[in-house]
Amino acid sequence: MKTKLAIFLAILSSGTVINCSNVGIEEKIESIWQSDNPLLVSEVSIPVKSDPSFNWTPQSGKVDLGALKSGEKEPVLLTIGTGTAAGYRDGGLTRQGQLTSYPNLVARQMGLKNFNQAVFDKQNGNGTGYYLRQSDSELPSWSKVTNNLAYIDPEKNFFAPYSQGLVHNLSVPGNHPNSYQLNPKTTLLNEIQYRNNIPLPPYAMDANYLWTTGNLTNSLLSRVVHSEKQSVWEYLNSIQPDVAIVDINADVYIQSHIQGGQAGLLGPREVFWELNVINYLKKNNTKYVYATIPDVLDFPYFNWYNYKNLSSKLNKPIKIAVSEKDIQEANNRTIFLPTRKVIDLFNGNSENEYLTDLDIINEREASRPELYNNLFVAKWAKEYNHPLVDFYAIYKKILSGNYVTDDGYKIDPSYSHGNFFSADGIYPSAIGQAVLANEVIKVLNASYQSKIPLIDVGLYAKEMEKVK
């Protein structure tokens, strides 16, 4: 069982609102998620990456969209998703990441001109900041890019409001049911003021969960959903989509495991959220595809440290203090997280005799998505008659090393020299996004009589080399 502290951290990052008084003044406030991170070696300034040319994509209006289009007007494509669909990679959201998100690649292949995903301005194209992998390190370490960011305050909580039309990619890292039900700006202010009034104790920050999105979810949503809209749901009602991609809940799995393992997704809040999404699309007669959840514990992030490479450093059992009275031994099924204590253990610098339950995921805490995909996602596909994009199976094939694109490009899932995962070991690279885009296009074509061309991933990879 996780400690009360770990559960509290999970609740905070999930977007659960915390009621506080006197909220509404955006005074200078310290970020509640700042902590000393043993995996970060420096801060660096890097020029904003160039935009891809997209000169290889079909011309607008020249693609046979089959049943995805009715009438002469360009269909409206909406995406409801989490970090992957947003284009989050390398531990951050950037302009280039947004432009190479798989929903934007799908929109480009459909020949759509008006797919709006609130792309950061070029001068602020480093967005939230991101991480550069240090190639000379034995195990992962990073430098953080901190220039040309899109934040408007030095504490990095707020973005300038986006006002250039309705946004069609409502995907953000850490997206969660409460993110849509509540006003994101109010939620953000409440979270920040609460943590300023009641700081986390120092030992709580020793966990240093590298990719915890913290208040980023509501920061990004409040950029789009302004104060006149009470919630993301109200914002959605401004949009009448013709086509949609639904890719939700993967980040709930990712974050619960980053924070040490929780109970998974078999709870009423997620089901309520998903059924609300489905009913919203049905009300608008939207043609849509729905994605299953990949097995996130297969991702490199959860495999950097393991029983073999840690025990070889110690030459003695690895003990875990679940509580004062419950001391357990790790085994080869234990998943070790990149926390300060685990890193110290690997480096031979540990002064602590025990790891804690915050540092590992044991067998009882590892939440696999097979049951969820079968019990809910597949059931809804039959009940509501919508096609599935089976990201679970696609990721399994990629991670087995047996995935080759239709144009013959080999996809390598290895870390850190492969081409599918980005530097954070969780989210796809630009090439990985193209793979997912093609899988969505295949399902759209098979289900709605469209003839959307697939991305030539080899050609796309050559262009991304020019703008990396």
**DSSP annotation of 200:** P
**CB of 381 closer than 8 Å to CB of 387:** yes
The pLDDT confidence band at residue 183, using thresholds 50, 70 and 90, is confident
List pLDDT tens digits, range 239-249.
999 999 999 98
Q: Which residues are CB-neighbours of 441 under 8 A, at least 6 positions away?
A: 106, 109, 452, 453, 454, 455
Distance, CA of 40 to CA of 43 (rounded, Å): 8
Distance, CA of 317 to CA of 277 (rounded, Å): 48
**CB of 289 closer than 8 Å to CB of 196:** no
Does the pLDDT value for residue 300 go beyond 70? yes
Structure tokens of 302?
């959860």
Does the pLDDT value for residue 230 go beyond 90? no
The whole-number pLDDT of residue 402 equals 95
Give CA separation, 458 vs 102, 398, 411, 431, 432, in Å. Answer: 16, 16, 10, 9, 12
* HSE (side-chain half, CA atoms, 13 Å) at 283: 10
| Strand stretches in 74-227, DSSP E | 77-81, 130-133, 142-145, 169-171
The pLDDT confidence band at residue 214, using thresholds 50, 70 and 90, is low
Does the pLDDT value for residue 449 go beyond 70? yes
Does the pLDDT value for residue 17 go beyond 80? no
The whole-number pLDDT of residue 211 equals 54
The whole-number pLDDT of residue 31 equals 34
Surface-to-core class of residue 273, CB atoms within 10 Å of its CB (0-12 exposed, 13-18 middle, 19+ buried): buried
**Rounded (5°) CA angle 172-178-182:** 95
The whole-number pLDDT of residue 201 equals 60
Q: Which fold has domain 4-14+27-301+367-467?
A: Rossmann fold (3.40.50)
The pLDDT confidence band at residue 212, using thresholds 50, 70 and 90, is low
The whole-number pLDDT of residue 69 equals 92
- In percent, the amount of the chain with pLDDT more than 90 equals 53
Q: How far is CA 463 from the centre of its chain?
A: 24
The whole-number pLDDT of residue 428 equals 97
Does the pLDDT value for residue 112 go beyond 60? yes
The whole-number pLDDT of residue 439 equals 98
Does the pLDDT value for residue 261 go beyond 80? no
Q: Which residue has the higher pLDDT, 15 or 45?
A: 45
Helix ranges (H only) for 175-292 are 177-181, 184-197, 202-205, 216-224, 232-236, 250-258, 268-283
The pLDDT confidence band at residue 171, using thresholds 50, 70 and 90, is very high
The whole-number pLDDT of residue 20 equals 34
List pLDDT tens digits, range 397-413.
999 999 999 999 999 99
The pTM of this model reads 0.89
**Rounded (5°) CA angle 251-413-147:** 60
**CB of 84 closer than 8 Å to CB of 440:** no
